[in-house]
Structure 1
Amino acid sequence: MMNKELNYILKSEIRFHIILQLKNGIKTPKELSSKKFYLSHISTNLKELENKNYVICVNPEDRKNKKYSLTKKSEEILNYLHKITK
Protein backbone atom coordinates (compact mmCIF):
# COMPACT_ATOMS: atom_id res chain seq x y z
CA MET A 1 0.00 0.00 0.00
CA MET A 2 2.78 2.44 0.89
CA ASN A 3 4.52 1.84 -2.46
CA LYS A 4 1.34 2.65 -4.37
CA GLU A 5 0.92 5.92 -2.47
CA LEU A 6 4.61 6.77 -2.83
CA ASN A 7 4.41 6.11 -6.58
CA TYR A 8 1.45 8.47 -6.87
CA ILE A 9 3.50 11.27 -5.30
CA LEU A 10 6.71 10.53 -7.21
CA LYS A 11 5.05 10.25 -10.64
CA SER A 12 4.44 13.97 -10.66
CA GLU A 13 7.24 16.44 -10.08
CA ILE A 14 4.75 19.08 -8.98
CA ARG A 15 3.06 16.79 -6.42
CA PHE A 16 6.45 15.84 -5.04
CA HIS A 17 7.41 19.54 -4.89
CA ILE A 18 4.23 20.38 -2.96
CA ILE A 19 4.73 17.58 -0.44
CA LEU A 20 8.37 18.50 0.13
CA GLN A 21 7.58 22.19 0.57
CA LEU A 22 4.75 21.49 3.01
CA LYS A 23 7.14 19.38 5.07
CA ASN A 24 8.57 22.71 6.24
CA GLY A 25 5.20 24.00 7.46
CA ILE A 26 1.91 25.51 6.40
CA LYS A 27 1.98 27.38 3.08
CA THR A 28 -0.35 29.12 0.65
CA PRO A 29 -0.52 28.14 -3.03
CA LYS A 30 1.33 31.36 -3.87
CA GLU A 31 4.17 30.38 -1.53
CA LEU A 32 4.35 26.98 -3.24
CA SER A 33 4.48 28.43 -6.75
CA SER A 34 7.68 29.34 -8.58
CA LYS A 35 8.97 30.02 -12.08
CA LYS A 36 8.89 26.28 -12.67
CA PHE A 37 5.50 25.59 -11.08
CA TYR A 38 2.76 28.05 -11.97
CA LEU A 39 0.13 29.01 -9.42
CA SER A 40 -2.69 27.48 -11.49
CA HIS A 41 -0.89 24.11 -11.61
CA ILE A 42 -0.16 24.26 -7.89
CA SER A 43 -3.83 24.94 -7.15
CA THR A 44 -5.04 22.08 -9.34
CA ASN A 45 -2.62 19.64 -7.76
CA LEU A 46 -3.43 20.82 -4.24
CA LYS A 47 -7.09 20.00 -4.89
CA GLU A 48 -6.14 16.53 -6.12
CA LEU A 49 -3.87 15.96 -3.14
CA GLU A 50 -6.58 17.18 -0.79
CA ASN A 51 -9.14 14.83 -2.35
CA LYS A 52 -6.72 11.92 -1.81
CA ASN A 53 -6.04 13.01 1.79
CA TYR A 54 -2.36 13.94 1.34
CA VAL A 55 -2.85 17.60 2.27
CA ILE A 56 -5.46 19.51 4.21
CA CYS A 57 -6.64 23.09 3.92
CA VAL A 58 -6.34 24.53 7.43
CA ASN A 59 -8.64 27.50 6.72
CA PRO A 60 -11.25 26.37 4.14
CA GLU A 61 -13.56 29.29 4.94
CA ASP A 62 -10.99 31.79 3.59
CA ARG A 63 -11.47 31.98 -0.18
CA LYS A 64 -8.53 34.27 -0.99
CA ASN A 65 -5.73 33.06 1.29
CA LYS A 66 -6.06 29.31 1.75
CA LYS A 67 -3.29 27.61 3.70
CA TYR A 68 -2.31 23.97 3.35
CA SER A 69 -0.60 21.46 5.57
CA LEU A 70 0.46 17.82 5.31
CA THR A 71 -1.74 15.09 6.67
CA LYS A 72 -0.53 12.17 8.75
CA LYS A 73 -0.72 10.05 5.59
CA SER A 74 1.76 12.21 3.68
CA GLU A 75 4.05 12.53 6.70
CA GLU A 76 4.21 8.72 6.83
CA ILE A 77 5.07 8.64 3.11
CA LEU A 78 7.90 11.13 3.65
CA ASN A 79 9.21 9.08 6.59
CA TYR A 80 9.06 5.92 4.48
CA LEU A 81 10.87 7.66 1.61
CA HIS A 82 13.56 8.86 3.99
CA LYS A 83 13.92 5.37 5.46
CA ILE A 84 14.37 3.62 2.10
CA THR A 85 16.83 6.20 0.76
CA LYS A 86 19.15 6.14 3.76
Structure 2
Amino acid sequence: MYVILLLIVTGIVHTALALFLWYDSLNYIKVSTSAVFSYLDPFFAIALGFIFLGQKPTIMQIAGIILISISGIMVSLKESAQKSY
Protein backbone atom coordinates (compact mmCIF):
# COMPACT_ATOMS: atom_id res chain seq x y z
CA MET A 1 0.00 0.00 0.00
CA TYR A 2 2.87 2.37 0.84
CA VAL A 3 4.42 1.81 -2.59
CA ILE A 4 1.15 2.61 -4.33
CA LEU A 5 0.85 5.84 -2.34
CA LEU A 6 4.40 6.80 -3.34
CA LEU A 7 3.60 6.09 -6.99
CA ILE A 8 0.49 8.26 -6.86
CA VAL A 9 2.33 11.15 -5.19
CA THR A 10 5.19 10.87 -7.66
CA GLY A 11 2.79 10.76 -10.59
CA ILE A 12 0.78 13.75 -9.43
CA VAL A 13 3.45 16.02 -7.98
CA HIS A 14 6.60 15.19 -9.87
CA THR A 15 5.00 14.55 -13.24
CA ALA A 16 1.61 16.21 -13.62
CA LEU A 17 2.33 19.35 -11.60
CA ALA A 18 5.79 19.82 -13.08
CA LEU A 19 4.51 19.43 -16.64
CA PHE A 20 1.58 21.75 -15.98
CA LEU A 21 3.94 24.44 -14.69
CA TRP A 22 6.31 23.91 -17.63
CA TYR A 23 3.61 24.14 -20.31
CA ASP A 24 1.97 27.08 -18.58
CA SER A 25 5.27 28.96 -18.48
CA LEU A 26 5.64 28.52 -22.25
CA ASN A 27 2.93 31.18 -22.61
CA TYR A 28 5.26 33.73 -21.02
CA ILE A 29 8.70 32.93 -22.50
CA LYS A 30 10.08 32.50 -26.01
CA VAL A 31 10.56 29.10 -27.57
CA SER A 32 14.33 29.58 -27.83
CA THR A 33 14.53 30.37 -24.11
CA SER A 34 12.48 27.31 -23.24
CA ALA A 35 14.77 25.19 -25.43
CA VAL A 36 17.79 26.38 -23.45
CA PHE A 37 15.99 25.52 -20.20
CA SER A 38 15.09 22.05 -21.46
CA TYR A 39 18.74 21.42 -22.38
CA LEU A 40 19.74 22.29 -18.82
CA ASP A 41 17.69 19.41 -17.39
CA PRO A 42 20.60 16.90 -17.46
CA PHE A 43 22.89 19.53 -15.95
CA PHE A 44 20.57 20.02 -12.98
CA ALA A 45 20.06 16.27 -12.59
CA ILE A 46 23.81 15.73 -12.29
CA ALA A 47 24.33 18.78 -10.07
CA LEU A 48 21.48 17.90 -7.70
CA GLY A 49 22.64 14.28 -7.56
CA PHE A 50 26.05 15.54 -6.50
CA ILE A 51 24.70 18.03 -3.94
CA PHE A 52 21.99 15.93 -2.31
CA LEU A 53 23.04 12.33 -2.94
CA GLY A 54 26.82 12.65 -2.96
CA GLN A 55 27.11 11.12 -6.44
CA LYS A 56 30.38 12.06 -8.07
CA PRO A 57 29.99 12.96 -11.76
CA THR A 58 32.11 11.05 -14.27
CA ILE A 59 34.41 12.70 -16.79
CA MET A 60 31.82 12.11 -19.53
CA GLN A 61 29.11 13.79 -17.45
CA ILE A 62 31.36 16.78 -16.77
CA ALA A 63 32.16 17.02 -20.48
CA GLY A 64 28.42 16.88 -21.23
CA ILE A 65 27.72 19.64 -18.71
CA ILE A 66 30.38 21.81 -20.32
CA LEU A 67 29.05 21.21 -23.84
CA ILE A 68 25.45 21.84 -22.78
CA SER A 69 26.47 25.05 -21.01
CA ILE A 70 28.42 26.28 -24.05
CA SER A 71 25.51 25.56 -26.39
CA GLY A 72 23.07 27.35 -24.08
CA ILE A 73 25.34 30.39 -23.93
CA MET A 74 25.72 30.39 -27.71
CA VAL A 75 21.95 30.27 -28.27
CA SER A 76 21.41 33.07 -25.76
CA LEU A 77 24.12 35.23 -27.33
CA LYS A 78 22.72 34.62 -30.81
CA GLU A 79 19.23 35.57 -29.64
CA SER A 80 20.46 38.78 -27.96
CA ALA A 81 22.48 39.68 -31.10
CA GLN A 82 19.38 39.28 -33.26
CA LYS A 83 17.42 41.62 -30.95
CA SER A 84 19.89 44.43 -31.59
CA TYR A 85 19.14 44.55 -35.35
Provide the TM-score with structure 2 as the length reference: 0.31
Which protein has the larger Cα radius of gyration, Structure 1 or Structure 2?
2
Give the strand-richer structure, 1 or 2: 1
Provide the TM-score with structure 1 as the length reference: 0.31
